[in-house]
Structure 1
Amino acid sequence: MESISIALILLVAVVASSIVVRLSPVALPIPLVQIALGAALAGLTGSGVMLEPDIFFLLFLPPLLFLDGWRIPKERLFKDRTTILELALGLVIVTVLGMGLFIHWLIPAMPLTVAFALAAIISPTDPIAVSAIAAKVPVPSRLMHILEGESLLNDASGLVCMRFAVAATLSGSFSLSSAFGAFLWLALGGIVVGVVLTWTVTQAKDYVSHKLGEESGSQILISLLIPFGAYLVAEHLGCSGILAAVAAGVTMSYAEQRGRATPLTRVRRTAVWDMLQFTLNGVIFVLLGEQLPRIVSGAAQVVRETGHDETVWLIAYVGAISLGLAVLRLTWVWVSLRFTMFRVSIAGKNFRRPHWKLIIAISLAGVRGAITLAGILTLPLALDDGTPFPARDLAIFLAVGVIIVSLIAASIGLPPLLRNLELPPEPGHQQQEDEARIAAAQAAIRAIENVQHELAEGRPDVDLYAQAGARLMDIYRQRIEGRSKSGQEADQLKAIQAIDRQLRLAAVRAERDALFRLSRQGRLPDDLARRLVREVDLAETRWSA
């Protein structure tokens, strides 16, 4: 019963954090609000949640990484692959080596392998935190896609590096050659497991749906189980469950392009995953705040063991590590930009040098978040011989401190940097959208004509079918005409479409109000009211997009 109560309290705190952020006149990062609420809960209850690292890792990371892989725009990922790989792989390796040595030099009491583990887990970034910080200042879409791609890959690379460092701490030895071979098996094996399992499950699911019909609830549940299945199978085989979850998400996006799921399943599944993402990210940060007092206490004890009696050294350590990360990331971004300029100049292409504000913005956008927290909390409680894991509480506190400092720095620095920032022009997708909508409308007209002839064949009321088909085809012909125009005529059609959209929204909202009124008066059965309201809701969603 106590565990259930704790879970419900955490969920209430997540809801409360969303309300606080929306009521705030300034752009508060929701992770900071959730951390504060978690700390307040710990102060009120006086007790903490005992977290089992392996269970915590399994519950939170697979679905979050799976969803990142599922939803990231693949064409943008491939387009900016060089920049993303430089940030996600090159910067992670430099961070692990550079910051690991720096942390060990800064805190000699922390073993080198633990310092490398800490450096590895603070290397992944969190684009969700960036989007929350910049909610009132639009983030350029290309910058956001680069940050998303970086986060997707550096989550996996950072966590895999942490796994090696933890293994070296547990075993007391490290071999570069064996680590390289193990890394290949972890990486390639994890990717293969994620791809094969997801593809197999989706094929079996589609076969069953084709034979027996589709049931939305089971389809959604299957999508929820896939990341956990990929993670567990990969871990059982000694591969990387992290990479398996990411690969499963990417494979899922390609599998879904076949369009086998029904529209109702897709709508419901999107809503479920949106809720799950919001909940998991929120619970992680609330748990962080709830664990904060205990983490500070344990870290202070470790600092005293190093010969410092003042806990202010904790703040100094966090500040030094955060500054080192910022300088390292800024230097890497600048060097990466110079390399890109050199590569473009060799190819004989023009390259517009980005504004210095953009370089600093990319550096500040390296916010640490849920993945860093989830990973650091999975540090083992004890070594193989039963002795406590060295400097575990201190490592957790430093990671938490880096998360908080990066959130505060980004929330203060990003809005003024992004405001009125002149960016290199981004290619638009209007032509592609017009071509796609025209092709879809033409396909719809052909389908209407075919079905109309099939339905009307041999019937006496052929004219009714012709009239119904003509009315519907007129809608699609108008859509084609509107997308084929250019210049002033196109602007007028767009204005008409905007007016039409406003009228349709007003109409569907009035429909819904009337349905609710009839339901309250008892003139409409509840099940029928729900079905009609859902139809209106879907129509409003269509016209609000």
Structure 2
Amino acid sequence: MSTFTFVLILGAAVLVSSAINQVVSGVATPLIQIGIGVLLAFAGLTTSNFQVDPELFLVLFIAPLLYHEARNTDKVALWSNRAKVLSLAVGLVIVTILCIGFTLHALEPTIPLAAAFALGAALGPTDAVAVASLSKRVSLKRRQSILLSGESLINDASGVVSFQFSIAALTTGTFSLISATGAFLVSFFGGIAFGLVLAALLAFLVSRVRDLGLEDTTFHVLLEVLTPFAVFLTAEHVGVSGILAVVAAGLSYSFFNRDLGPSIARMKIVSSSVWRVLSFVLNGLVFVLLGIQLPHAMMGMWEEKAISNGELFFLVLVISAIVIGVRTLWFVGISYVGRKQVAQAEQRNSGGTPEQVRRVLRSIRLVTPDSLKESLALALAGPKGAITLSIMFTLPWSLNAAPGVFSQREFLIFLACGVILVTLLLANFALPALLPDEQGEKNYATDTDASIEVLRATIEELAARQTRENRRATQTVMAQYNDRIDRIKQGTGEQDDDSALRLEALEWEQEYVLSAIDEERVSPVVGYRMLRRIRQSKNLIQRDRDVLWLFGIIARRAALVSRSITRTLLDSNVLSDGFEEEREVRQLQAESLEYVVKNLRARLDDPNYRTEHVSSLMVQVQRDLRRVKRIGRDIGTVARVEDKATEVRRAGFLIELEHIQQMYESGRINRHTAKHMRENVHMMQLELEDKV
């Protein structure tokens, strides 16, 4: 199998995992991707054709993932908790390396101590994607989320740097603590400084490009995507840590990019979407590779005679216990120090004497049931994942110090895979028992609350985009969004399911247009243009779409096309003036809307119809009718006036869809609510294009 085919299969697997994740609840996305990888492995797919250079693997997977993670980190919260985060990201990683290294070497002396330290360094980083997905299913406090997200960002860098030093000692066979410490400090602080300098230079370049009037979104987004690769490769070439340079560049991104304006806002929306897809694909590829690697690693080690199968699983469980145990003890210490600091501050603020403060501090216990439970939960909330496996894949195939194949490479990868799987399973199934979602079903916002939140966010985004040229148009559109919020609050929005009445209104409109075509009161081109719009509107409202519905759509479309072609061929004025055709469209639209209003009035007193649905829809149709008549008086003039407002409305709809997707991905709304909200926006988009 060629590498190209292999990569295509991996991409398809990630795509399938995305679809399954939308349907299956209660299982983290990484576990789904690992499962797909296992199935591919049993189908005969292997990683034998995926042997890339270790440096390339770091650049390809780790650099962009860390850069994206650093960009989206809450810098203020990270700085406020810098001491705790640094202790987790540096101190905990070092302790984990030492504990795993010495324990593994003691249990399996055939593994060099440097190789055991390398495994410990690879198991230091936590998986940011898994941590983010866990927050949707458990009740994490803000303080806890900040600690976990900050740890997952910085410990990636410390783990990678430590791994690189361990591999250097392994391949050369020599190690000097003094020289290693000096090299570590140069690499560490040099990488941070170099990343800041490169970020400033890139920001300067972007500002100069904008000064030249180049506001092309594609250019700026592509530059952002290429930034982590350029920063990593340049830093490594200079001799400092490329990983830390990438993290520093990502953290300083928001400080060096403070420009505002409509084009900047549009670019940020596109950039956010691109990075979300890119990070999901890269993480997905690594987890699918993990799933493919697991069966082959297990079978290879299963047939290994030098070590028994029971010992293999024993080592995996021991290393997993060390990882979780060390993390638990570390969080117990953080909790103890934090409780002492709070008590000390409270005593001092209340005017307590130094002796009273010391007495209170001595009364604080090292471990309490609540602190132990929270510490264990936070320990489980830091599973290993993409970064760990990416690092392990960079293990050398041979050693300079001992010529020949590095025989323990597959063994170490197997241990890493086993620990990743154990920690992911515990995080997915054991953590919710320790930190259950206190909101339960209330975690989902109601349709009303979600709609209002999306509309408010859209108003804020439009306000940030307005300029002197589009201020009047933007304010007009913002007023329309405020009206929509008021209608929803008053209960006249689309909160109840009035789709049956809307479908019936579209049937009335279609009935009028068909009669106008048959009676030759309008040209076939105009008539069938209206019918296509009505059919699209009906498709958006209809939700029960089975095979019969699909065949019905095909049959109706074929009938419409056939009649349209027949009428058009018989019409001698097909190439008439576009202005006249537009006038005719407006006239037909106004007449059909008047026909709909007439039918709605007749059903106000009908007990078979809900009065609030009829009156609400009548208000909307009458509003559309007034707009159509106003535009029909002077199409040319009004089109020029409405042009900017129409552009702002289009942008507003895109912003709405973006916020709906963000709410769905963050677990604020369920799939049904998101689908319903998207359909409403699509309907308004369709109506807008018809009115332009």
TM-score interval, smaller chain = 0.7 to 0.9
1:370 and 2:368 aligned: no
Greater Cα offset, 279-288 or 411-420: 411-420
1:361 and 2:359 aligned: no
Number of residue pairs the alignment of both structures matches? 490
User: 1:183: which partner in 2?
Assistant: 184
1:394 and 2:510 aligned: no
Match of 1:383 among 377, 399, 404: 399
Task: Give the residue type in structure 2 aligned to 1:107.
Answer: E
1:417 and 2:443 aligned: no
User: 2:111: which partner in 1?
Assistant: 110
Task: Give the residue type in structure 2 aligned to 1:131.
Answer: A
User: Distance between the aligned counterparts of 2:160 and 2:44, measured in 1?
Assistant: 33
**Residue deviations 1:98-121 (CA, integer Å, cap 9, x gap):** 221111112111110100110111
Quote the offset at 1:497 in angstroms.
6.7
User: 1:39: which partner in 2?
Assistant: 38
Specify the SS of the correspondent of 2:384: coil
**Residue deviations 1:266-297 (CA, integer Å, cap 9, x gap):** 11111110000110000001011112233224
Quote the offset at 1:146 in angstroms.
1.4
User: Distance between the aligned counterparts of 1:191 and 1:365, measured in 2?
Assistant: 28
User: Distance between the aligned counterparts of 2:37 and 2:417, measured in 1?
Assistant: 13
Q: 1:471 to 1:285 in 2, by over 3 A?
A: closer
1:541 and 2:689 aligned: no
Greater Cα offset, 79-88 or 145-154: 79-88
User: Distance between the aligned counterparts of 2:23 and 2:310, measured in 1?
Assistant: 34
Equivalent residues of 1:21, 1:27 under 8 A apart: no
Quote the offset at 1:473 in angstroms.
9.3
Quote the offset at 1:380 in angstroms.
1.0
User: 2:423: which partner in 1?
Assistant: 406
Greater Cα offset, 335-344 or 131-140: 131-140
Quote the offset at 1:470 in angstroms.
9.1
Task: Give the residue type in structure 2 aligned to 1:409.
Answer: L
User: Distance between the aligned counterparts of 2:123 and 2:474, measured in 1?
Assistant: 60
User: 1:296: which partner in 2?
Assistant: 298
Equivalent residues of 2:135, 2:145 under 8 A apart: no
Q: 1:539 to 1:178 in 2, by over 3 A?
A: closer
Equivalent residues of 2:335, 2:371 under 8 A apart: no
Q: What pairs up with 1:75-94 in 2 under 5 angstroms?
A: 75-94=76-95
Task: Give the residue type in structure 1 aligned to 2:435.
Answer: L
Equivalent residues of 1:27, 1:133 under 8 A apart: no
Q: 1:403 to 1:472 in 2, by over 3 A?
A: closer
Equivalent residues of 1:35, 1:288 under 8 A apart: yes
User: Distance between the aligned counterparts of 2:215 and 2:475, measured in 1?
Assistant: 32
**Residue deviations 1:154-184 (CA, integer Å, cap 9, x gap):** 1011111111111111111111111111011
Q: 1:68 to 1:134 in 2, by over 3 A?
A: closer
Equivalent residues of 1:232, 1:241 under 8 A apart: yes
Equivalent residues of 2:137, 2:437 under 8 A apart: no
Equivalent residues of 1:70, 1:253 under 8 A apart: yes
Q: 1:236 to 1:474 in 2, by over 3 A?
A: closer
Q: What pairs up with 1:95-494 in 2 under 5 angstroms?
A: 95-133=96-134, 135-259=136-260, 262-300=264-302, 304-305=305-306, 308=307, 310-348=308-346, 356-384=372-400, 386-419=403-436
Q: 1:266 to 1:338 in 2, by over 3 A?
A: same
Task: Give the residue type in structure 2 aligned to 1:123.
Answer: G
Greater gyration radius: 2
Give the alignment's TM-score, normalised by structure 2: 0.63
Quote the offset at 1:145 in angstroms.
2.1
Match of 2:536 among 491, 506, 517: 517
Quote the offset at 1:501 in angstroms.
11
Greater relative CO, 1 or 2 (CA 8 Å, sep 6+): 1
Equivalent residues of 1:91, 1:332 under 8 A apart: yes
CA RMSD of aligned residues (A): 4.0
User: 1:10: which partner in 2?
Assistant: 10
**Residue deviations 1:228-266 (CA, integer Å, cap 9, x gap):** 011001111111111111111112122233336622211
* Structure 2 unaligned regions, length at least 5: 350-360, 440-455, 507-531, 540-556, 565-580, 582-642, 664-692
